[in-house]
Chains A and B, each alone.
Chain A
Amino acid sequence: MPVDILMPALSPTMEEGVLAKWLVKVGDEIKSGDVIAEIETDKATMEVEAVDEGEVLEILVPEGTSGVKINTVIARISGDDASPAKPAPAAPQVASAPAAEAAKPAAAPQPVAVAKTDAGERIFASPLARRIAAQNNVDLKTIKGTGPNGRIVRVDVEGVKGGAAAPATAAVTPAAPVATQAAKAPSTIAATGYKEGNYDVIPLDGMRRTIAKRLTDSFRDVPHFPLNVDIELDKLLELRKQLNSQNENAKISVNDMIIKATALACKKVPEANASYTDEGILIHHHADVAVAVAIDGGLITPVVREAENKGLLTISEEVKTLADKAKNRKLMPEEYSAGTISVSNLGMFGIKSFGSIINEPQGCILSVGAGEQRPVVKDGALAIATVMSVTLTCDHRVVDGAVGAKWLKAFKRLLEEPLSMLL
């Protein structure tokens, strides 16, 4: 009984991936648990394990293929002849236990309104379109809507599931939707007007596509606003010096202290540690601080969990480990998903101040500029202080101006009076 091996969903946000490498070839005998392929997702490279035994009969997607949609049949194995026919082909599982959870192909949508994808990206579809999609196991994510503002309507779903739909369909011309789809297709290189030969083309990998999509969605859909504040760092730098002089093995960075202060500020002003959903605002119990890490070909935000409960040394070590894994694209989904607030630091590049784009569904992102000596006025006299400018970008749906300001005030006090972090 041949068994299909499907492209697995290795992370909640994964829609497609690159089949980076096959580790088996046609004719190989494989058994459950064997690593058979490497798949590059939007975030990381992962190994795919076989769940069935048998001979590899066919490899349907050659290695190096990008844009392989989840649940595409990528290979076929002979299966175990003794076992009864499987009602549904099993998807391969990834190696680690927690990730296996995410590797299951997305369950068929529930009949009633699946308002969001796992990643929280809302799909606009009519109730009837949703139900017909659910009844026919059509994934709405794969459909382009032709209704108002790209909403998925009945005809779009029926177009996908193909053929006999309702006994009599509405009088809607098929020509119009097709033309619209063409018009809305992603912009082409030709359309840019740049002369061929004057540029190199870098193909979009999973990460780049995800960055493009998520940040475009966020910038367009989230009503965001920035709040700026200057923070004097002299006391903090002094404390850091003391701490590091007493610890030979690890060096605590200013960034580690910023992460800690971010988490503590979230405890002081929990209403800023929040996420917007259409069903209600989530006020998070813990400050899971996502730290932006620049890597080759993009960036990723691994998460320091419950940073409010962790000491500076622990935070420092954790950030180092996560950053290394990120650079090697070895982060597991649970290591980079579901942060509650983000920190992005470009101080090391000398950037004075900047504003980041909200990392949905998080309510705030903190942008940290360089600490530098600046003239300040103290008690009516000019003085020199080490000052850093930070910007908190807030999702106004959850964090109003006063709340953001309150958070920044708490954050500023923690850094300017760093001993209070130890309380």
Chain B
Amino acid sequence: MSENFDIAVIGGGPGGYVAAIRAAQLGFKVAVVEREHMGGICLNWGCIPTKALLASADVYSKIKHAQNYGISVSGATYDLAKIVERSRGVAKQMASGIGFLMKKNKVTVYDATAKLVKGTDAPKVIATAKDGKTTEIVAKHVILATGARARVIPQAGLEPDGKFIWTYKEALVPDTMPKRLLVIGSGAIGIEFASFFNALGSEVTVVEAVDKIMPVEDKEISDFAQKQFIKRGMKIMTSASVKSVKKNANDITAIVESGGKTQEITADRIILAIGIVGNVENLGLEELGVTVDRTHIVTDGMGTTNVKGLYAIGDIAGAPWLAHKASHEGIICVEKIAGKKVHPINPRQIPGCTYATPQVASIGLTEAKAKELGYEIKVGRFPFVGNGKAVALGEAEGMMKTIFDAKTGEMLGAHMVGAEVTEMIQGYAVGMGLETTEHELMETVFPHPTLSEMMHEAVLDAYGRAIHI
């Protein structure tokens, strides 16, 4: 059977389904081929279900510290199975919403695995359903949005074993509450799980290969967060790497090397969060001659690959591996196909969020990176303890930091750690998108009392004008 479309999207995650909807809005006839479930990792095994877990952990922490707010609660316990059930329910609800959106936009969805073969306008897509039935999809444009998966290192024994070693996928549906948990990797995924299990009582150790946790963040923010995590009971080892693992009868021992010395850390479970690899296999990319660099397809930043009619967006098209970057790339790619005026995403304007306790959010250059690039900079800082709302909420631990080009006043970066910062970073994203200078931010009236006032203060501080410190 052969079907014709204007645009075929391979992968129904936040890159693929958003591209499909935008394409439908622009009047294209669109198909999506998804091998597992609409919504991709983000909705089903990533962003959303982890936020549900962390929400449960947050409620539990709040109850445990209720006496700080003058409320007595005794005997608070949790039920891991119910926490997980809630998380799965949230994921399911959101994923079914995507199904509705596909119908609403008249996008044809194939529950099938895709493989590309040579075509005329663009490669042809052979979609094979679970029952073995194949459909040949002939589209003028094919967008690859197959995403990525957890990186594993089988040589060191670092791969899921069905018991002791988890990736995010197993960690989202834990069979047990590990008494001792070793998290390898301290990026957003590792730190969020570390934070979740720590809040529920696990003894958590985080091992990070570079010299600071959350390597992409500003050093000052990483250090601040690290102190907070340690205060909450986590153990953190930086400049350390796991050389091998040794499985025991009831637990697992990791051999960790740090500063030339090795030590053994025994845990009930290990979570692997050492990065991701692009899903580039079994798609027929080699036969088509698609340029792939270390599991990522090379594009021009607007999705165009070296093969006519073939595009790639999201995780498979390279870092940063973020859902919102994938969605935005999907839109840019489709609009370019439609002949609209587009330009690639400015990587400096993609915010990043980590939903640990405390939260971390950032956009743009770190202080170190700005200096490395030769900017003369002005740096502003503001502590949560100087903000009335933060203190009233009992969230006085955190800070905001801004970085400006001293010459032009361009906002180069902003970094935050503390309560609700993930909801605030967008304010700076809007400003940077509109090419703000410090002046406009200073002139903006921020509502009182809000945590967002600290955004104002952090800007004022960069120019020696902060009011409340």
Which residues on A are within 8 Å of B, measured CB to CB? Answer: 112-113, 126-129, 131-132, 135, 153-154, 166-168, 170-173, 176, 180
Contacts and interface: CB of A to CB of B under 8 A. Distances in A.
A147 to B, nearest CB: 8
A153 B410 CA distance: 12
Interface in B137-158: none
Contacts of B300: 173
Contacts of A129: 435
B347 interface: yes
A319 B436 CA distance: 49
Nearest to A135: B408
Contact of B347 (A166, A167, A171): A171
Interface string B393-427: 00000000000010111100000000000000000
A153 B374 CA distance: 22
Interface in B415-469: 434-437, 439-440
Given A131-B437, A171-B301, A166 B405 contact: yes
B282 interface: no
Given A128-B409, A129-B435, A166-B410, A173 B341 contact: no
- List the 7 shortest-distance A-B pairs measured between CB atoms, nearest first: A126-B435, A128-B435, A167-B374, A170-B346, A167-B373, A127-B437, A168-B373
Given A128-B436, A131-B409, A176-B342, 20 more contacts: A126-B435, A127-B437, A127-B439, A127-B440, A128-B408, A128-B410, A128-B435, A128-B437, A129-B435, A131-B437, A132-B408, A135-B407, A135-B408, A154-B410, A166-B375, A166-B405, A167-B374, A168-B374, A171-B344, A180-B341
B327 to A, nearest CB: 18
Given A170-B346, A176-B343, A127 B301 contact: no
A172 B344 CA distance: 6
B377 to A, nearest CB: 11
Interface in B157-180: none
A180 B340 CA distance: 11
Q: By CB atoms of chain A within 10 A, which of B347, B348, B439 has the most?
A: B439
B444 to A, nearest CB: 12
A206 B188 CA distance: 61
Nearest to A170: B346
9 contacts: A127-B434, A127-B435, A135-B407, A166-B408, A166-B410, A167-B374, A168-B374, A172-B343, A173-B344
A29 B298 CA distance: 67
A170 B348 CA distance: 8
From DSSP, what is the main secondary structure of chain A's interface residues? Answer: loop
Interface of B: 300-301, 341-348, 373-375, 405, 407-410, 434-437, 439-440
Contacts of A180: 341
Nearest to B412: A166
B397 to A, nearest CB: 33
B435 A154 contact: yes
Nearest to A183: B341
A23 to B, nearest CB: 45
Nearest to B347: A171
Contact of A172 (B346, B405, B440): B346
Contacts of A167: 373-375
Nearest to B409: A131
Contacts of A113: 439
Contacts of B301: 171, 173
Contact of B439 (A112, A135, A153): A112
Contacts of A128: 408-410, 435-437
Contacts of A131: 408-409, 437
Contacts of A127: 409, 434-437, 439-440
Contacts of B342: 176
A131 B440 CA distance: 12
Nearest to A134: B408
Contacts of B374: 167-168
Nearest to B441: A127
Contacts of B405: 166
A419 to B, nearest CB: 54
A166 B377 CA distance: 12
B341 A153 contact: no
B304 to A, nearest CB: 11
Contacts of A153: 435
Nearest to A154: B435
B1 to A, nearest CB: 40
B343 A173 contact: yes
A171 B325 CA distance: 15
A380 to B, nearest CB: 62
B410 to A, nearest CB: 5
Contacts of B344: 171-173
A176 B373 contact: no
Nearest to B431: A127
Contacts of B375: 166-167
Contacts of B439: 112-113, 127
A129 B436 CA distance: 9
A153 B349 CA distance: 15
Nearest to B440: A127
